[in-house]
Amino acid sequence: METGVDDPRRSKPWVLGIIKVMSRVNTWTYRVSGGRIGGNWRVGSALTAPVPVCLVTTTGRKSGEPRTVPLLHLPDGDRVLLVASQGGLPRHPQWYLNILANPEVTIQVGRRTRAMTAREASVEERAALWPRLVERYADFASYQANTSRVIPVVICEPTG
């Protein structure tokens, strides 16, 4: 997998601060409206073809507290596919690190919330899923091109 060079300007604290504030606002509006507001991403390549957003609640690996973030997702039968891109920033997002520590999550799509178990896709699974994810949201390809890390794909499956 070819990856890009990390641009230090993109990992400034204010960039992460903006992402955090926007995530909190989106999470609040999503919850209040049952996904009617904040349930679709219409930025970048999704401007004309919105990408669905879900709320993912993990357990903080340090705090033990629930942490909820809005994420683009791709439904895949009973599964939900997530991409730990964080806009191509050089570090993995906190939600992904939380999943590595505790894979039990809840995912809310619209007003429906489900308990799921998350896991990182294997190399083979990622190779098969990545083109579908990029087809749905082309910006994932530029995020990968702009970072030296391999952006993980996370597969969430129903618990039980």
Amino acid (one-letter) located at 17: G
Task: Answer yes or no: is 3 within a domain.
Answer: no
pLDDT of 61 > 80? The answer is yes
Whether 1 maps to a domain, the answer reads no
**77 belongs to a structural domain:** yes
Helix%, strand%, coil% for the chain, nearest 5: 40, 30, 30
Is 157 strand, coil or helix? strand
CATH code of the domain in which 117 resides = 2.30.110.10
More confident residue, 4 or 131: 131
Distance CA 96, CA 86 (A): 10
**What is the tally of structural domains in the chain?**
1
State mean pLDDT over 146-158: 96
Distance (Å, whole) CA 88 – CA 15: 12
Calpha distance 113→118 (Å, rounded): 15
Residue 2, in any domain of the structure: no
pTM for this structure?
0.86
Residue % of the chain over a pLDDT of 70: 87
Domain that holds residue 103: 8-158
